[in-house]
Amino acid sequence: MSFHDQNILPAVRNMKQFDTFLDSPFSYGVLLDIHLGQLGGVISAARSHGKKMFVHVDLIQGIKHDEYGAEFICQEMKPAGILSTRSSVIAKAKQKKVYAIQRMFLIDTSAMKKSIELVKKHRPDYIEVLPGVVPELIREVKEITGIPIFAGGFIRTEKDVEQALAAGASAVTTSDTDLWKKYWN
């Protein structure tokens, strides 16, 4: 099952990619690596094109990456959702009624166990699993948590996308614009 009929969630790292996203058929995208001073204008431009943006709070320059920063972004910028590795940010996103997406780095068994405990406590709307090229872990996290999965990180080919989706990911986050174009409807 895809996320709002999207198998790909374009991850935007720069303004050139943002322009490509605006011209795409995708409704939802993810903002990465942006300065706080640009954030409001970028979200406003997306909105004027009928697009909805998720903001990766941990990667915004110029604001602290905590629940207060998330609250400011939710109140002032009104994104469709918030991504973060931090549980307090996820809790704030849920409180503000935007999509809460917990980013989970699966570097070893201990990290996975600790991340799953946090996810079970805060119950985000989605989990972004990194790296997204390990289908067994996508399947396992989804089964253990019961929460829909986005797969991201090291997604380089259509095969990577298809394997992640086949393992149960609702969508794949990628900043590879060539992959975006392969999934334009």
How far apart, in whole angstroms, are the C-alpha atoms of residue 22 and residue 92? Answer: 28
pTM for the predicted model, two decimal places? 0.96
Q: pLDDT truncated to tens, each residue of the chain (185 aa)?
A: 689 999 999 999 999 999 999 999 999 999 999 999 999 999 999 999 999 999 999 999 999 999 999 999 999 999 999 999 999 999 999 999 999 999 999 999 999 999 999 999 999 999 999 999 999 999 999 999 999 999 999 999 999 999 999 999 999 999 999 999 999 97
- Residue 185 resides in a domain: no
- Rounded CA-CA distance 163/72 in Å is 37
Q: Is residue 47 part of a domain?
A: yes
Token pair recorded at residue 138: 């996508």
For the record, the structure tokens of 41 come out as 């204008």
Angle between helices 87-95 and 109-122 (to 10 degrees): 20
- The angle that helices 158-166 and 135-145 make with each other, rounded to 10 degrees, is 30
Supply the pLDDT for residue 93: 97
CA distance 168 to 148: 8
Three-state DSSP class for residue 148 = coil
Q: Is residue 103 part of a domain?
A: yes
Q: Which of 21, 82, 29 is nearest to 52 (CA)?
A: 29
pLDDT for the residue 62:
96
pLDDT of residue 2: 87
Residue 1 belongs to a domain = no
Give the residues across from 126 on adjacent strands: 101
Report how many domains make up the chain. 1
- Classify residue 97: in a domain, yes or no: yes
Residue 79 lies in a domain: yes
Output the domain CATH number for residue 98.
3.20.20.70
What's 151's DSSP letter? Answer: E
* Distances, alpha carbon 84 to alpha carbons 9, 45, 60, 140, in Å: 16, 23, 11, 21
Residue 80 lies in a domain: yes
Residue ranges making up the domain that contains 157: 6-180
